A and B are shown apart, each in its own frame.
Chain A
């Protein structure tokens, strides 16, 4: 149990366009999901906490207007990178938590902005 599906796994987009990343909990309901970003050879940095039915809570320094998070149902959270630029190129990972199981992660999305 506790599988989180994340799509797409890789995406290349042109500078200035927007990209949507989906994160689904397949066999459980996730009231809370987390979005992380990881640059090469660095650890995971939390971007925001996504709560079903309410606004996301963003970490300090993360632009909420640039990284739009929607958590419309108990099984789906989306992250949209708006007006992407090359510096947004990174590995984006979502996570959900299941009681007595811990935090489980999606497979990640490698975003390359050209």
Chain B
């Protein structure tokens, strides 16, 4: 059974701070890792994906992957109240052919 684990939160951070979201996965064969943001009542929006060990930066977001530890994280710099949402970590074995397995999500609250 493939599993993706996230702390459900809520994670509360002040505006302007760095929010750190974590995710672990059980399947060592996983190759593709995704972070999605989901606002209440809406479908998930892709923030970024990462395939290789190390860091990948996109604007205020940085994804970090450590395959040896089976760990992937998302850092949000200069957090804004509009970043308040549920962040979903998702994992797939092969991009394009394999199903995406989601974690339970972490609810982030950014307060002014």
Q: Which residues of A contact B (CB under 8 A)?
A: 6, 32, 34, 36, 42-46, 49, 91, 93, 95, 97, 99, 102-108, 110
Residue from B32, B90, B99, B102 whose CB has the most chain A CB atoms within 10 Å: B99
In the assembled complex, which residues on chain A have CB atoms less than 8 Å from the CB atom of B92? 103
B74 located at the interface, meaning its Cβ lies under 8 Å from any Cβ of chain A in the complex: no
**Is there contact, CB below 8 Å, between A106 and B46?**
no
B85 at the interface (CB under 8 A from A): no
**In the complex, A102 Cα to B92 Cα: how many Å?**
10
Task: For B46, list chain A residues within 8 Å (CB).
Answer: 102-104
**CB atoms of A108 and B43 under 8 A apart:** yes
> Measured between alpha carbons, how far is A94 from B85 in the docked complex, in Å?
20
Contact B99 A105 (CB under 8 A): no
Count B interface residues, CB 8 Å. 23
**For the complex of A and B, 4 pairs with smallest distance between CB atoms:** A108-B43, A105-B43, A43-B104, A44-B102
Q: B44 in the interface, Cβ–Cβ < 8 Å? A: yes
Knowing that A46-B102, A102-B95 touch, tell me 18 more A-B residue pairs with CB under 8 angstroms.
Answer: A6-B43, A32-B96, A34-B99, A34-B100, A43-B104, A44-B88, A45-B102, A46-B100, A46-B101, A93-B43, A93-B44, A95-B100, A97-B95, A99-B96, A102-B46, A102-B49, A107-B42, A108-B42
Chain A residues with CB under 8 Å of B41's CB are 91, 110
- B: residues with CB less than 8 A from A are 32, 34, 36, 41-46, 49, 88, 90, 92, 95-97, 99-105
- Provide the bound-state CA to CA distance between A102 and B103, in Å: 17
Secondary structure type dominating chain A contacts: strand
Chain A to chain B contacts (Cβ below 8 Å), 28 pairs:
A6-B43, A36-B102, A42-B104, A43-B102, A43-B103, A43-B105, A44-B44, A44-B88, A93-B43, A93-B44, A95-B100, A97-B95, A99-B95, A99-B96, A102-B32, A102-B34, A102-B46, A102-B49, A102-B95, A103-B92, A103-B100, A105-B36, A105-B45, A106-B43, A107-B42, A107-B43, A108-B42, A110-B41
